Amino acid sequence: MDAASVVYPSEPPRYPLYDISTLDDERGWMVNNVHDPAIFKDGDWYYVFSTDRQVGREGRNKPIRAGVQIRRSRNLIEWEWVGRAFDGVPDTTT
């Protein structure tokens, strides 16, 4: 893919600043829940690794999820959820 074939949107997507409807669905967290990001490019894809923790879950019979999230994009504007780099947080980090 060359730079001439990339089509950029006329304006960036308008993500809600705080959307409690996505608390239980990490795929919907998007750019507002990306902390401490690290990004790299592999072929046509950009990957961002970031930290975050699921808040508002204490006492709701759901575990608090914390760790390194992975998202990818072809244009650095529209991101899709890939998953987590690790299953949980290693004990040595706490």
Average pLDDT over residues 84-90: 74
Long-range pairs for 37-41: beta carbons < 8 A, 24 or more residues apart: none
Tokens of 39: 């990004």
pLDDT at res. 56: 54
The Cα 17–Cα 29 span in angstroms is 10
Give the span between the Cα atoms of 24 and 54, in whole angstroms: 8
What pLDDT does residue 72 have? 94
> Which residues share a beta bridge with 38?
49
pLDDT at 38: 94
Structure pTM? 0.65
Compute the mean pLDDT over every residue in the chain, rounded to the nearest whole number: 75
* pLDDT for the residue numbered 74: 93
